[in-house]
Amino acid sequence: MKEFKILAVLVVLVGALYYGIEPFAHSVMHPEVAPANFAFDDLKNVDTSLKGNVDNGKVLVEANCIACHAIEAAGHLQIMSNADAAAAYGVNPPDLSSAGRIYDKNFLANFIYNPVAAMKLDHKYPVGGAKAFPMPSYNWMQPQDIMDVVAYLQSISPKVTEDKAGHEATFKAACSRCHAMKYGTLEATTPAETLKTYLGTTPPDLSQHIKSRGEHYLHSFINNPQVLLAGTAMPRVGLTEKAQEEVIAYMEEIGDSKKAERESVGLWVMGYSVVFALLAYLWKRKIWKKVH
């Protein structure tokens, strides 16, 4: 009976710590933030209900985009090497082949209109500031023309498979200009020293971020970094929910490939602990029976 009293005291103390103190500590270290917003409905400069014209979008893209951006899916190859492009712009401009698939339509349209505002980098590139963002705003374009560009980019986006190769393709398109994934043998396409000058810091290798940050944190951070790390140089990427899930899935496949196996073993360990505790209690009762 004494053992059960001790157990009851422990349960009360642990419960008080977990349900009383832990939530307070958690709220300070990891405060609750607004849920991830995959509608990007705070961006309202472009009427995204307009139906885009693919043919006109093609003309506009070829007139305004391919001088800086490759679009291999449409036959427009990269003009400069990664190093030369990064030296010219500060960061390697992305290939736009997958832009129409991985980026939300509303985000992409408003990004074209004003990239700094869409990515929430006003603190880094203030109006009238000394530092200019590499991509200019196309706020002189009519909303219809912007939606034509979006429609064209959506029309040429290649489909990807629902497997590790597909997840890797999405990660490369969304993240690999700045971030390496050495455990996946991926290097950032922008040289590290150029990135450090451009961002003010070296972006982390993401091989173990799924473990060090956790899926819940990444889900909010990728969608809007500023809500969790105000002032960070990391932009709001603008990924669709599906594309973001593919990025996180790839990070898990590289950085936590044994997750399923580990969770399975964990259940066996918990079962063993319960059985061992029961046997230990019965053994203790037998040995100390005469004393009690």
pLDDT digits (tens, 9 = 90+) for 53-85: 999 999 999 999 999 999 999 999 999 999 899
- Can you give the pLDDT at residue 184? 92
Amino acid found at 22:
E
User: Any idea which of 69-83, 237-251, 267-281 has the lowest mean pLDDT?
Assistant: 267-281
Q: For the residues 5-14, what does the mean pLDDT come to?
A: 85
Give the confidence band of 201 by pLDDT, cuts at 50, 70, 90: confident
Q: Residue 269, Cβ neighbours under 10 Å: how many?
A: 9
Does the pLDDT of residue 110 top 90, yes or no?
Answer: yes
Query: What is the Cα–Cα distance from 51 to 46, expressed in whole angstroms?
Result: 12
Q: What token pair was written down for 29?
A: 């270290």
Provide φ and ψ at 73, rounded to 5°. -65, -25
pLDDT score, position 292 = 60
Greatest distance between any 2 Cα atoms in the chain: 94
Write down the CATH superfamily of domain 50-255: Cytochrome c-like domain (1.10.760.10)
pLDDT at 1 over 70: no
pTM above 0.85, yes or no: no
Contact 115, 68 (CB under 8 A): no
pLDDT reading at 269 higher than 70: yes
